[in-house]
Structure 1
Amino acid sequence: MCFACLGFSSPAGKISRRDVMLRASALGLVLPLAAPALQTAHAAEQSAPADPVGGIKDIIAKANSPELVATKTFEINGADLPWTDLGLDATRGQQVTFLLGGRMWLSRDHDLWFGPGLVFHARTRGQRPIYNPMLDTGTMIASHDGRIEVARSAAEWANEDGALATPEDIYKKADVKISGIALLWRGDAAAGVTSLLAHGDVGGLLKSELARLARGGKLPAGWSNLLGFGGGQEVFSQGTGGEIVCDITGRVSIIERPLPLALASRPRLAWRWKIDQLPSVVAEDQAATHDYLSIGVKFDDGQDLTYVWSEYLPEGKVFRCPLPGWNAIETHMIVRSGKAGLGSWQAGLRDVAADYAAHIGGSATAISKIWLLAVAPFQRRHGACRYADITVTTADNAVHKV
């Protein structure tokens, strides 16, 4: 099986996260080496999601809900370029719920795939912001009056306007089929979903969406989703004690917080973390098993360095991200290893400037952002942790709380 591997450089020689595609198909370059690990990693999960459209249409017909203004079914296939106009008009502030089925296959032979919510995106009137539920259900609040458009992207947007970074001929080779239905509500989406749920469900989608709406997830204050990875509020939240809680299964979320500080100021990153469950049951340095929890630093040259707890890789190991494309910009450092300490609070401290000089050695003059990363789409297992007391202290003893 032959797949493409792509990476791009931005003008002025700097590598930008926006220029890098998480080309899942590129995993074909390393999958043969990962096969034994994948057998172990996937042993617990082989089920396939159901196509929800027919069943949901039957429920809609039974319910005859006064909450529902309009519906539209759709299908997104590999050859479909973004964006697809659903022919459904929303007004600003109106709520539209998406219920999704299908998969984006990375390798059928190795049972590697992304769920539909991870790669599904929507917007109104061809304008930002782009909505990505990450879960297989979600409700978008229309940001503009106008048509609802949908598309799929595995971190393939060039910018926040939804322009495609991946060359069209490569993009259209993806093995993907997403089927879904858009439900445009008169008022509150929760009331509408409840009116349908009284008449049945399909694969638990309506129940899941009602629960998601009830949770009302919000990102921790000051943090935002990295471009292309929406739905961080379903993974990261603010704990009752002020800590940041992370809980993920089979998804990807990267959130970031701006903190520009010169490397010459000798920034030292300190944090506490309590990791209850790591999402990998094998070493994380292969692309097909690259599931991990991490805190990281983004630099002004587009590079990033993340600090990882691994059960299987030795402390002190440093490696470039194994995902083709991302290996041009991302470095991982194992700062804790093994099971000892899991489930209890542990402290971390890194001299960021020293780590950058020793392991990246690029042109950066400053850090730009702090990242929290939860990556678990390959083995599709559960990861859970908490972060607290994240600070960056400079040589003049100025403490910057994150």
Structure 2
Amino acid sequence: MAISDSLRTIGVLVRLALRGAFTTVLGSGAPKPDGERFDAAFSSFLANPAVAPHIRAARLLQLQADESGWAATAIDVKPGDQVTVIATGTLWASKLFDMRFGARIGVWLRAGDEGTIFKTPGEVATRRLDEGGPLYLVAKPPGEWADEQGRFDPEYPRSGITGALYVCVIVWKGDAIEGLKALLQVGDYQNLVSRALDEALKPVPTPEGWRYLWRLGQGAIYRDTRQGTERHIHCHTKEDVGILQFPADFPLSDTTRLTWRWKVDRLPCELPEDIQLTHDYLSIAVEFDNGQDLTYMWSGRLAEGTTFKCPLPFWDKVETHWVLRSNPAELGKWLSEDRPVKADYARAIGVPPQRIVRVWLIAVSVFQRGEGICDYADIELVDGDKRLKIL
């Protein structure tokens, strides 16, 4: 790293530390521990005679941010069961830099000892289970899994994370919506029950043909929208993270191009995004058959044409960023892009691979807890007469 880059990074860290200290002195921003109040409220709600008949099983859990692993709920579930999760709390990565994560990104579940893991897309979520067996939960801030069965990758320990998440998990006898309506009739806590009912009534469907990357879990960041006859994908991220993927088996040649249009209305970070503490951004990416991905991003501060390896553990081995836009005067405008993918790969990463396997949309706003808003349209892979319509 050049001396100027090192000095810039030090300046960003000092700024973040001063911001964290200011927040601590004022006592603002940082959430107050509320586990006891949460437990007391939901213990009362669940025991109410109007609610209890709807519930097959329910548990209140405190999920620690340590290395203790999956917590058993002592509930056996079966495929088709409807489960609601309501959670609060804070996981701290650094109090010095005021870096913390909430239940929105930290609650994972697994049905069965070898079941497939899944994440709640927010502090509240209702899901119809695909698998059965003992139900487990774990608090896991952004990091890496060894596999989709929820084994932890020993190369990326969770040491240094403190705090806890407080969770109410309910397995309903019948329809979750009817149970949540009954629950809301007897009380609420910080609007969590009303939000849970709203989420169950109006879930955000994943855009057609796309899926969320399993490593980061399901989300509610992206949604299909229409402007006249034109289809867009709208992205809205706040204190969240999600990668949306579209399969794309496409040869990579000298004339392969990725084209798209996007309109970025708000960026989730106003600081240089090339260090861990500020790595919040919006982008579109191409994944290749060698496991690498090249992601074209908007930046709040870095110069256009800047390339850098992702600063996050695990991702630093597979992901490279290319700052394509950074002019604030272009925010809120539809912009058309056309990138020579092979030439870009050669410049930013090295010897190009043979094929493209996926196109991604990436939204990160978890580190600085900001808000990002953008829209995508007309995404295509093009090579001569060969054309793959992505969006």
TM-score by length of 2: 0.88
Compared CA separation, residues 293 and 331, structure 1 to 2 (3 A): same
> What is residue 146 of structure 2 aligned with on the other side?
158
User: What SS does structure 2 have at the residue aligned with 1:279?
Assistant: coil
> What is residue 7 of structure 1 aligned with on the other side?
none
The answer to whether the 8 A contact 2:216-2:241 is kept is yes
Cα shift at 1:40: 6.0
Cα shift at 1:346: 1.0
Equivalent residue in structure 1 for 2:315, among 309, 313, 326? 326
Structure with larger RCO (C-alpha < 8 A, sep 6+): 1
User: What SS does structure 1 have at the residue aligned with 2:330?
Assistant: coil
Is structure 2 residue 349 aligned with structure 1 residue 398? no
Map 1:16-27; keep pairs closer than 5 Å.
none
Aligned-residue sequence identity (percent) comes to 32
The answer to whether the 8 A contact 1:41-1:282 is kept is no
> What is residue 370 of structure 1 aligned with on the other side?
359
Cα shift at 1:173: 5.0
Is structure 2 residue 257 aligned with structure 1 residue 274? no
Q: Match for 2:132: what amino acid?
A: D
User: What SS does structure 2 have at the residue aligned with 1:253?
Assistant: strand
Cα shift at 1:63: 5.3
Equivalent residue in structure 2 for 1:36, among 15, 21, 38? 15
The answer to whether the 8 A contact 2:288-2:353 is kept is yes
Map 1:126-165; keep pairs closer than 5 Å.
126-153=113-140, 154-165=142-153
User: What SS does structure 2 have at the residue aligned with 1:156?
Assistant: coil
Is structure 2 residue 102 aligned with structure 1 residue 115? yes
Distance 1:336 1:63 in 2: 57
Q: Match for 2:385: what amino acid?
A: N
User: What SS does structure 1 have at the residue aligned with 2:253?
Assistant: helix
- Please list the CA deviations of residues 162-184 of structure 1 after superposition, one character each: whole Å capped at 9, or x if unmatched: 2221359x335532412211111
Q: Match for 1:158: what amino acid?
A: A
> What is residue 250 of structure 1 aligned with on the other side?
239
Map 1:150-229; keep pairs closer than 5 Å.
150-153=137-140, 154-166=142-154, 170-171=157-158, 173-229=160-216
Compared CA separation, residues 67 and 32, structure 1 to 2 (3 A): farther
Equivalent residue in structure 2 for 1:306, among 292, 295, 298? 295
Q: Which runs of 5+ in 1 are unaligned?
A: 1-29
RMSD: 2.3
Cα shift at 1:48: 1.0
> What is residue 31 of structure 2 aligned with on the other side?
48
The answer to whether the 8 A contact 1:134-1:229 is kept is no
- Please list the CA deviations of residues 229-287 of structure 1 after superposition, one character each: whole Å capped at 9, or x if unmatched: 1233x111110241101111000001111112222263200111111111112221221
Q: Match for 1:48: what amino acid?
A: P
Cα shift at 1:39: 5.0
Compared CA separation, residues 204 and 362, structure 1 to 2 (3 A): farther
Q: Match for 1:213: what amino acid?
A: A
Distance 1:188 1:375 in 2: 34
- Please list the CA deviations of residues 168-213 of structure 1 after superposition, one character each: whole Å capped at 9, or x if unmatched: 9x33553241221111111221221121112221122111111212
> What is residue 60 of structure 2 aligned with on the other side?
73
Cα shift at 1:37: 4.4
The answer to whether the 8 A contact 1:87-1:148 is kept is yes
Q: Which moved more, 1:324-333 or 1:177-186?
A: 324-333
Cα shift at 1:356: 0.4
Is structure 2 residue 43 aligned with structure 1 residue 57? yes
Cα shift at 1:96: 1.0
> What is residue 3 of structure 2 aligned with on the other side?
none
User: What SS does structure 1 have at the residue aligned with 2:197?
Assistant: helix
TM-score by length of 1: 0.86
Compared CA separation, residues 280 and 173, structure 1 to 2 (3 A): closer
Q: Match for 2:13: what amino acid?
A: A
Compared CA separation, residues 362 and 152, structure 1 to 2 (3 A): farther
Aligned length: 370
Compared CA separation, residues 172 and 36, structure 1 to 2 (3 A): closer
Compared CA separation, residues 167 and 284, structure 1 to 2 (3 A): closer
User: What SS does structure 1 have at the residue aligned with 2:148?
Assistant: coil
Distance 1:319 1:348 in 2: 20
Cα shift at 1:91: 2.1
- Please list the CA deviations of residues 31-51 of structure 1 after superposition, one character each: whole Å capped at 9, or x if unmatched: 885230465699897141643
The answer to whether the 8 A contact 1:129-1:143 is kept is no
Compared CA separation, residues 228 and 32, structure 1 to 2 (3 A): farther
Q: Match for 2:333: what amino acid?
A: S
Distance 2:94 2:10 in 1: 8
Compared CA separation, residues 315 and 33, structure 1 to 2 (3 A): closer
Equivalent residue in structure 2 for 1:93, among 80, 84, 93? 80
Q: Which moved more, 1:344-353 or 1:63-72?
A: 63-72
Q: Match for 2:275: what amino acid?
A: Q
Q: Match for 1:161: what amino acid?
A: Q
Distance 1:33 1:272 in 2: 32
